[in-house]
Amino acid sequence: MFDANNQYSTDHLFLNAVIDTLDEGVVVQNSEGKIVGFNQKALQILALSFEQLLGTNSGDQKWVSIDLNGDKVPTEKHPIVITLRTGEPQKNVIMGVTTGDQQLKWLSTNTRIIHVNDQKFAVAAFTDVTQLIELNKSLNEQNKLQLEIQKELEKKIAQLKDFAGIITHDVRGPANNITKLIQLYESKKNEPAGQQAFEFLKQAGNDLLNNLNELIKLLQWHLDKKSPFTTCNFNTTTDSVVIQLDHLIQQKQVTIHRHFDVPDFEYVQVYLHSIIYNLVSNALKYGREGTPLEITLSSSRKNDRVCLTISDNGKGIDLEKFGATLFRFQRNAELENDSKGIGLYLVQHQVEEFGGTISVSSEPDKGTSFTIIF
C-alpha cells in the first residue's frame, strides 16, 4: 500500500502488506479529494502507473465514468466524493470507468470515512465486475431477443388463424354458393334461369380463384415482407361479392345501393374483399320480417384517410347487450344464428392489422352501420 509522505503507514507495515494482497483495489483520498494512497490492485485494475494515479482526484479528466444506462456520471455523483461531502458510506455503487489502456471496466465500489491522527480520509474499495455486467447484459439481450421471437411467433400464429379463417369462412361461403348454382343449373339447364345460373357459376368460380390467388400473395408478403398493397376498386370488389352471394340476394330480394365517392385506393385486395363479403353477408342474415332489406355501401375521404361505410335496415343490434362481444370469436349464441362470429372477428383483425379502425352504430329494429377507416 503506497502512502504519500508516510503520513499514516509507518506504524502499519504489516497492515499495508495485507492490503496489497487484497483482490480489491483500494484508493485513499484526503479531505481535499486528492489521492494520497492506493494499493497495487488499484493500479492493476485502473491500468495506471504510480505517477499517473498519485495526486489526482475524482474530477480529473481521465476519470470518464458512466452509469448502467450509459449516461455520464458527474463528479459530484462519484461515491467517494459523496462520502467526503456527507460522511455517509456508499455501498455497491456500479460505474463504468475508462481505464488507462482505454478499456471500459465496470467497478463495484464501497466507500467510507476514516480518521488518522485527527485527519479525515475517504477510502474507496472497488472490484472489477466487468465480466458479471457483460454477462448480465448478454442475458438481458437474450431475454429481449426471446421476447421478440415470442411476439413474432404470436403474430405468426395470429396470421395463420387469420388465413385459416379466410379459407374456412370466406372461401366456404362462395363454395357453398357455387354448389347451389350447380344445383340450379342442373334442375333448369334448358331454361333461361339455368343459363343465367351457368353464367353466374363461371363468374363465381373465377372470383373464388382470384381470391385464392390474392391470399397466396398475402402469404408470400408475410414470408418476404414485400408490400401486399395494390390498387383496389370498390365497385369491382363489390361486384365480386354480389355474384358470390347472389343466391341469398335473390332469395331475400335484397336491394344493394352503392355510393363510392372514392372509387379506388391502395390496400390488400384479399382483405378488402373479405371485409365487404363478411359485412354484406352479415347484413343478409339479419333482415327484418316484413321489411325489404336494403344494404348501402359508400366510400369517402376524411382527413386524408379512406372510409368505407356499410349500412342496412335490418334487425339491428342491442349494443348495450352485445357491444362488448360483437367482434369476438365464438360470441353469444343469441346474436349469431349460424356461425361462431368469425366474420366480424376477421373483419376487425384485417382492418386493424394495417392501422385502421372499425366502429358500429346500431339500435334494435333500426338497422346497423359499420364504418371502417383504412
The yes-or-no verdict on residue 1 having pLDDT over 70 is no
DSSP, collapsed to helix, strand or coil, labels residue 252 as: coil
Domain layout of the chain by residue ranges: 2-128, 140-373
In this predicted model, what pLDDT tens digit does every residue of 154-165 receive, in sequence order?
777 776 666 666
Assign 87 a pLDDT band (cuts: 50, 70, 90): very high
Residue 115 is placed in which grid cell? 480518521
Assign 332 a pLDDT band (cuts: 50, 70, 90): very low
**High-pLDDT (> 90) share of the chain, %:** 37
**High-pLDDT (> 70) share of the chain, %:** 80
Q: Taking residues 108-122, what's their average pLDDT? A: 90
pTM recorded for the entire structure: 0.48
Burial class of residue 339 in the structure, from the number of CB atoms within 10 Å of its CB (0-12 exposed, 13-18 middle, 19+ buried): middle
Assign 337 a pLDDT band (cuts: 50, 70, 90): very low
Cβ contacts of residue 312 below 8 Å, gap of 6+? 283, 286, 287, 293, 294, 295, 296, 367, 368, 369
Q: Domain 2-128 has what CATH class? A: alpha beta
Find out whether 288 and 315 touch, Cβ atoms under 8 Å.
yes
In this predicted model, what pLDDT tens digit does every residue of 193-239 receive, in sequence order?
777 777 777 777 776 776 676 666 656 655 556 667 899 999 999 99
What secondary structure does DSSP assign to 297-346, as a single string? EEEEEETTEEEEEEEE-SS---HHHHGGGTTSTT--TTT-SSS-SHHHHH
Q: Taking residues 76-102, what's their average pLDDT? A: 92
CATH number for the domain running over 140-373: 3.30.565.10
Task: Indicate the Cα dihedral angle 41, 42, 46, 50, nearest 10°.
Answer: -100
In this predicted model, what pLDDT tens digit does every residue of 38-78 receive, in sequence order?
888 999 999 998 888 888 887 776 678 899 988 999 989 99
CA distance 358 to 374: 9
Q: Taking residues 264-292, what's their average pLDDT? A: 91
Residue in this structure with the C-alpha cell 447484459, named with its chain if needed: 137
